[in-house]
Amino acid sequence: MIICLVSREYPSDDHAGGIGTYTEKTARTLAGMGHTVTVITEAVGAASSRMEDGVQVHRLAPAGLAGPVRLPYMRTLARARAVDLAVRRLPATPDVVQVCESGAEGFWYSLRDHPGSKLLTRLATPTFVVAELSANAGHRVMRARYMDRIERSQTRRSDAIISPSAALADIVCERWQIPRERITIVPTGVDFAERFAGAGVALPAELRDREYLLYFGRLEERKGVHVLADALPEVLAAHPSLHAVFAGENFLTYRGEPMQAYVEHRNREHRDRLHFLPRLPQAQLHPLLAGSLLVVLPSLWESLANAALEALDMGKPVVATTGCGFAEVVEDGRSGLLVAPGDAAQLRDVLLLLIAGRDRLRRMSEAARARAESFRLPRVVTDLVAVYERLVPSPAGRAR
């Protein structure tokens, strides 16, 4: 099949987040299965087009996307239009064009007929979810409403919709009035432990021979970083040799100050045991995960985080939250523990329980590795290809 994946971010240029990580590993696996795969993304610098791991990656220049910004949110529409043009200029018409709903990069393409191609939207986290979970971050109401409209329009116009979790599918169907049967669940796959085991990247010097718990991801309100900050003082006080590591972009403010500042303020008595690292490429994240005791992902709500899969794949118990996609990945009491979102006291008690019980941690570590087997990339991508094949005609039909 001829497949085009659209993602504003792509790890080999700028490891920006979960959408880019998903796109890279999915594209690479599809190409390895013999499909012709193109990725359309946005360049950090100059535009380029090159083969990477069997995938043709086209990077559109950011300057060419923006144009003269005169109307509100013009850049969003300009980017969507540039994606539409790039898809239509591909030398071979794709059987499937897969886009994400976040940012509505497929919006322009969805407005016009595209003979020979099918448009598939993969849900990630719509803007309305992000805005509602980050009440203290100063989101602009009008922009959130605008993005909600065009993301919804693109999704509803798509020939097919997939979601990494039932939790995300349910919330989108309720808000956007989409029949639930239109959405197929295709989980995210993982090959993190195997792929980066031989990268040869060392653990940061300040963490060598240290015991630490790890949070990695954006430092923002919807990820529950402030909840972890509130839970940590008693945990660090009870374990004087324990450190806490936060790896990720200090993405949004919280109550008027950067999230890192809030974490430091709440844990000022233990400031020497807090470590803040920037957003890390996956090769550098590998030793950080390998050296941790456990991973804490206290999101207020999550569709299905790459971070949880990567932690399980490394054999790390995951402390995460109930009522969202985590429950579809982390087996509560087996490969990790789930707490109520926003409940710092419960999070504190669970961390104290796990850190004090090393036998429990070892058992959960083994269960975490076993759980990751259910999300191996070839297995998950085979399910994705089955969705593609239901969309497009037979090979003979395509040839005609």
Q: Higher model confidence: residue 251 or residue 212? A: 212
- What's the mean per-residue pLDDT of the chain? 91
Radius of gyration of the chain (CA): 21
**Residue 69 confidence class, pLDDT cut points 50, 70, 90:** very low
pTM of the predicted protein model: 0.91
What is the distance between the alpha carbons of residues 240 and 39, in angstroms, rounded to a whole number?
A: 48
pLDDT, residue 397, reads 41
pLDDT, residue 173, reads 96
Q: Give yes or no for residue 179 having a pLDDT over 70.
A: yes
Q: Higher model confidence: residue 44 or residue 70? A: 44
Q: Give yes or no for residue 66 having a pLDDT over 50.
A: no
pLDDT, residue 196, reads 93
pLDDT, residue 14, reads 63
377-391 and 18-32 helices cross at what angle (nearest 10)? Answer: 80
What is the distance between the alpha carbons of residues 7 and 38, in angstroms, rounded to a whole number?
A: 11
Token couple for 132? 């509602």
pLDDT, residue 400, reads 36
| CATH of span 193-375 | 3.40.50.2000
- Residue span(s) of the chain under CATH 3.40.50.2000 come to 2-189+376-399, 193-375
Token couple for 142? 């009008």
pLDDT in tens, 364-376: 999 999 999 999 9
pLDDT, residue 137, reads 53
**Residue 233 confidence class, pLDDT cut points 50, 70, 90:** very high
What is the distance between the alpha carbons of residues 331 and 231, in angstroms, rounded to a whole number?
A: 22
Answer CATH for 2-189+376-399 from 3.40.50.620, 3.40.50.2000, 3.40.1350.10, 3.30.930.10: 3.40.50.2000
Q: Lowest mean pLDDT of 11-15, 131-135, 240-244, 294-298, name the range.
A: 11-15
pLDDT, residue 396, reads 43
Which residues, 6 or more positions from 82, have their beta carbon under 8 angstroms from its beta carbon?
Answer: 60, 64, 65
Q: Assign 3-class secondary structure to 321-363.
A: ECCCHHHHCCCECCCEEEECCCCHHHHHHHHHHHHHCHHHHHH
